[in-house]
Amino acid sequence: MKKIKYILLITLGVSVSSCSKYLEHSPDDRAKLNTVDKVAELLVTAYPQANYITFTESMTDNAGDKGTASTDVLNSDPWHFIDVRGRDLDTPDYYWNACYKAIAAANQALAAIDVATNQADYAAQKGEALLARAYAHFMLVTLYCKPYNVATAGTDPGIPYVTVPETVVFAKYSRKTVAYVYQQIESDITVGLPLIQDKVYTVPKYHFTSGAAHAFAARFYLFKKDYQKVVDHANQVFGGGNILPNLKPVNSTAYRSLQYYDLQAQYTQATNKSNILLVEAQSLWGRSYASYNYGLTNDIMSKIYSGTNVTSGTWGWIVYGGTPEVLNVPKFREHFVLTSQNSSTGDPYNIIPLFTAEEVLFNRAEANTYLGNTAAVIQDLNDYASVRAVLSSGNPTYNATTLAITTDKVLRFYPSMSLKDGLISTILDFKRVEFCFEGLRWFDILRYNLPVVHTAFDGKTTYTLGPNDPHRQLQLPAEATLAGLERNPR
């Protein structure tokens, strides 16, 4: 169901008069939202069907300059810390619009449920709609606003938290504050999560199951620094709080023996136990990330993949690439959908993992570090290392006696840090490798206000994103000003 009343935050391409007539009609000409099945069908579109990885990955310290002739602005603009000159696939503007389209679908579903005579029958759909609405708003406030800080969240500009379907053409909105947005997200999570029913989904990995909802809640509370709730929700993602059986067995002989395209395909499959929530999005990322000029270089690979880590070993990942210009780990396989059966043109799609078992483990470990539960942190880190670390590239096996992580190892590896800071650094360093090519490193850079320095291929020119640089917050689309929104400073 695609004819949803989008708010003005999304680009409008029709006249005022035609918009007025359009908004007077039912959101879908085929059917009214008067059954559980129809609402469930609408909720398929309540997830942002766009990819944030292209711009978030380019802004991180995982991206270097390969010195090729490629000048694709989708890749080069964020690497140079300038606003992306474009608004199509894989741009911040495209992602902004996709989030508000998803929110519009969630709100339309909730409005239909509110007027249903048998509301109890829609409980599962209401839960999914609330979680989907919260997730899209969370991604917006994370990417376009300052990180949550209890001391400043009450004054830092947020993004519009939209809770009702649009009914007028030129509605005005307020950004309010980051604190307000977080309050609304938490309210939707709190109300929606108990309503989730996994049994209603035909393909659960593409919906907010109970596990996915808890994974999202764990991430949200990590950003909010409510650490006990992070642990509580992370423990409920999988039965008994045991995450290890769901981690990708990257250092196993079976995994390492897979061929490139098999590795590429299985990484985002719904049958992969590591994947908790997936979304299908139009994107050029899968075909482009290996060859983009600003990406994994030999220097960065040597530092984060081949170098030693706290385990005293190295990582079991295999980095592919016949030349340094195309170094990559196979994670995304493009699905090219023809526009018609006899057409030679079509649209590229990628499956994007929104939440994984690995992230849940790291979020729990980080929260437990701040809670002082050191033994639990060490256990999680060793569980992760047991399916990632190897003795060496020449001896790619895991040996617990040699590679087990201990507090002494952490202190020796980070000699200038306290144990707590060393554990946090261990987690962040592990995540940097784990989510390379997935854009999640950017979220840690935001949360910890880490500086990023990009060095040009000539070794002389640098581009620095300092802790207070306004480009840490993505720019709102230009048309957002029509809705009364003040854009981010530049």
Interatomic CA distance for residues 146 and 467, integer angstroms: 11
Q: Which two tokens stand for residue 56?
A: 């978030």
Residue 3 banded pLDDT, cuts 50, 70, 90: very low
Average pLDDT taken over every residue of the chain = 93
For strands 346-356 and 452-455, give the pairing.
unpaired
24 found inside a domain = yes
Across 359-374, average pLDDT: 98
User: What is the reported pLDDT for 12?
Assistant: 36
Assess whether pLDDT exceeds 80 at residue 367: yes
Helix (H) or strand (E) run with residue 335 in it: strand 335-338
- The answer to whether residue 227 is domain-embedded is no
Residue 489: what residue type?
P
Residue 48 located in a structural domain = yes
- Whether 29 has a pLDDT exceeding 90, the answer reads no
Q: How far apart are CA 412 and CA 409, in angstroms?
A: 5
Separation between Cα atoms, residue 277 and residue 293, nearest integer Å: 30
CA distance 457 to 67: 5
Q: What residue type is 267 in one-letter code?
A: Y
Contact in structure between 242 and 379 (CB atoms under 8 Å):
no
457 with 441, same domain: the answer is: no
Contact between residue 476 and residue 482 where contact means Cβ atoms under 8 Å apart: no
271 lies in the same domain as 358 = yes
Instruction: Give domain status of residue 174, yes or no.
Output: yes
Mark whether 372 and 457 lie in a shared domain: no
How far apart are alpha carbons 209 and 296 in whole angstroms?
Answer: 34
- Using the Cα atoms of residue 294, residue 476, residue 102 and residue 344 in order, give the sign of their dihedral: negative
Domain membership of residue 205 (yes or no) is: no
Q: Is the pLDDT of residue 380 over 50?
A: yes
Residues 415 and 460 in one domain: no
Q: Which structure tokens are listed for 34? A: 């008067």
Do 45 and 157 lie in one domain? The reply is yes
Domain assignment present for residue 440? The answer is: yes
DSSP 8-state assignment for residue 458: T
**Would the pLDDT of 101 be above 70?**
yes
Looking at the structure, tell me whether residues 252 and 352 fall in a common domain: yes
- For residues 212 and 193, give the distance between their C-alpha atoms in angstroms, rounded to a whole number: 10
CB 357 within 8 A of CB 292: no
Tally of structural domains, the chain: 2
51 and 89 share one domain = yes
Ranges 12-26, 277-291, 336-350, 425-439: which has the least confidence? 12-26
The predicted pLDDT at position 261 comes to 96
Q: What is the pLDDT of residues 58-80, one digit of tens each?
A: 999 999 999 998 789 999 999 99
427-471 per-position pLDDT tens digit = 999 999 999 999 999 999 999 999 999 999 999 999 999 999 999
Clarify whether residues 65 and 159 are in a common domain.
yes
> Is 60 exceeded by the pLDDT of residue 20?
no
Residue 29 domain flag: yes
Report d(CA 216, CA 229) in Å as an integer.
12
The pLDDT assigned to 31 comes to: 56
Q: Are residues 458 and 390 in the same domain?
A: no
DSSP line for 307-332: S--TTSSEE----B-SSGGG-B----
- Residue 30 pLDDT greater than 50, yes or no: no
Same domain, 310 and 394: yes
Task: Write out the residue range of the structural domain in which residue 119 sits.
Answer: 1-200+452-485
pLDDT greater at residue 172 or residue 232: 232
